[in-house]
Amino acid sequence: MDIKYFRLIKTIAEEGNIANSSEKLFLTQSALSHQLRELEGRLEFRVFHRTRNKWKLTEEGQELYKMANEVLNTIELGFNSIKKITTGSKGTIRVSTECYSFYQGLPKFIQKMGVLYPDIDVDLVLEATHQPISKLLLKEIDMALVTSKPVNEELIEIPLFEDEIFAVLHKEHTYSKTAYLEAGNFLKLHLIIHSFPLETVSVYKQFLKPNKITPLKISAIPLTEVALEMVNANMGVMCMPKWALQSLNISDDIVLKRIGKHGLKRTHYLVARKEDQYKKYIHDFISSFEEDFLDV
CA distances from 113 to 93, 185, 235 (A): 11, 43, 40
Q: What is the pLDDT of residue 152?
A: 94
Q: What is the pLDDT of residue 178?
A: 95
**Start and end residues for every CATH 1.10.10.10 domain found in the chain:** 3-87
Can you tell me the distance from the alpha carbon of 292 to that of 191, in angstroms, rounded to the nearest whole number?
Answer: 32
**Start and end residues for every CATH 3.40.190.10 domain found in the chain:** 91-161+266-293, 163-265
Quick one: pLDDT band at residue 296, thresholds 50, 70, 90? very low
Classify domain 163-265 by CATH number: 3.40.190.10
Classify domain 91-161+266-293 by CATH number: 3.40.190.10
Please enumerate in sequence order all residues whose Cβ is within 8 A of that of 258, keeping only pairs 6 or more positions apart, or say none: 164, 166, 167, 179, 180, 181, 264
Q: What is the pLDDT of residue 233?
A: 97
Residue pLDDT, tens place only, 189-219: 999 999 998 988 999 999 999 999 999 999 9
For 42-45, which contacts have Cβ atoms below 8 Å and span 24 or more sequence positions?
A: 42/1
Instruction: Give the containing element (helix H, strand E) for 80.
Output: helix 59-88
Q: What is the pLDDT of residue 85?
A: 61
Query: Quick check: bond before 197 cis, omega within 30?
Result: yes
Average predicted confidence (pLDDT) for the chain: 90
Residue 289 confidence (pLDDT) above 80: yes
Residue pLDDT, tens place only, 5-52: 999 999 999 998 888 888 889 999 899 989 999 999 999 999 998 877
Residue pLDDT, tens place only, 237-267: 999 999 888 878 899 999 999 999 999 999 9
CA-nearest of 204, 183, 186 to 195 is 204
Residue 84 confidence (pLDDT) above 80: no
CA-nearest of 4, 48, 269 to 145 is 269
Residue 294 confidence (pLDDT) above 60: no
Contact criterion met (CB below 8 Å) for 191 and 215: yes
- As a whole-number percent, the residues of the chain with pLDDT over 70 amount to 97
Is residue 95 helix, strand or coil?
Answer: strand
β-strand pairing of 155-170 with 264-273 = antiparallel
Q: What is the pLDDT of residue 115?
A: 85
Q: What b/e readout covers 253-269, taking b as 16+ CB neighbours within 10 angstroms?
A: ebbbbbbbeeebebebb
The CATH fold of domain 3-87: Arc Repressor Mutant, subunit A (1.10.10)
Q: What is the pLDDT of residue 157?
A: 94
Q: What is the pLDDT of residue 171?
A: 97
- DSSP H helices in 189-235: 202-203, 224-232
β-strand pairing of 155-170 with 237-241 = antiparallel
Q: What is the pLDDT of residue 110?
A: 86
Please enumerate in sequence order all residues whose Cβ is within 8 A of that of 51, keeping only pairs 6 or more positions apart, or say none: none
Amino acid 194 reads: H
Residue 119 confidence (pLDDT) above 90: no
